[in-house]
């Protein structure tokens, strides 16, 4: 609503596109399509409350990174806790943001370890069928759909506590799901961070994607700093 009010007042105009249609992106705090249809939790968070994300990333997350500048689960957790504190003191806020933090770390680990395997298989499929590209291969489509589904599950499980606010009601909602999302997140972190199962991935996949170096940015970016 606030973004719509700004546009009605003439604020946020950023010029014209190639078809000479007006573009209103200078004041844009949410991109609905990228949230609803993204195959990556990072992209979902990147395009939700963009202005706050940029501030948290540049002023909290980046300052907590190790000297190497590589993504950090500790920096992610602290940044999300700061975001929860900014929202208020209801337990539901902290439950939502702490779970989102661990979910983001788990998504980063999965992407870093599994995406090279999927891309390697997709490229082999393209080599056998010259009429296709990587994105249209069955394995890449399955990967994208599973990524979208997992992201939506975490997004909504965290969102329910954001609405319920009360700790007992939030736990009741999670209990109705048998804490399945939390168990899944813990399993991923244990598998790829604690037990380093990524080292057993096929060697021809190129191995795990190296941790990305994070820098402050002025455009949209989430505190998690997941590798792209």
Q: Active-site residues: which are they?
A: 49, 87
Output the CA angle 208-212-216, nearest 5 degrees: 165
Rounded-to-integer distance, Cα 170 and Cα 151, Å? 19
89: tokens are 């003191």
Structure tokens at 32: 């609905």
The candidate with the shortest Cα–Cα distance to 83, out of 43, 48, 52, is 52
Start-to-end Cα distance in the chain: 30
| Contact (CB, 8 A) for 59 and 218 | no
Furthest-apart CA atoms within the chain: distance in Å: 57
Contacts of 224 (CB under 8 A, 6+ apart): 42, 45, 61, 71, 76, 79, 101, 104, 105, 107, 108
User: How far does CA 5 lie from the centroid of its chain?
Assistant: 28
Give me 91's structure tokens: 């337990």
């Amino acid at each position: 609503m606030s973004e719509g009010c700004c546009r009605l007042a003439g604020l946020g105009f950023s010029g014209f596109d190639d078809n000479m249609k007006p573009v209103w992106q200078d004041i844009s705090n949410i991109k609905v399509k990228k949230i609803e249809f993204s195959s990556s939790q990072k992209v979902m968070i990147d395009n939700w409350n963009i202005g706050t994300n940029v501030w948290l990333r540049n002023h909290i997350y980046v300052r907590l990174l190790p000297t190497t500048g590589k993504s950090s689960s500790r920096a992610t957790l602290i940044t999300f806790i700061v975001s929860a504190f900014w929202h208020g003191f209801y337990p539901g806020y902290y439950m939502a943001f702490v779970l989102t933090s661990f979910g983001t770390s788990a998504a980063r680990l999965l992407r870093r370890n599994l995406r090279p395997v999927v891309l390697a298989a997709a490229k082999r499929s393209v080599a056998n069928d010259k009429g296709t590209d990587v994105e249209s291969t069955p394995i890449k489509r399955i990967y994208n759909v599973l990524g979208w589904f997992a992201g939506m599950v975490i997004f909504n499980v965290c969102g329910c506590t954001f609405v319920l606010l009360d700790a007992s009601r939030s736990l009741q909602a999670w209990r109705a799901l048998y804490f399945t999302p939390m168990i899944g997140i813990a399993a991923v972190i244990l598998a790829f961070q604690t037990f380093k199962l990524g080292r057993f991935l096929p060697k021809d996949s190129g191995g795990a994607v190296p941790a990305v170096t994070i820098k402050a940015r002025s455009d949209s970016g989430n505190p998690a700093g997941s590798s792209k």
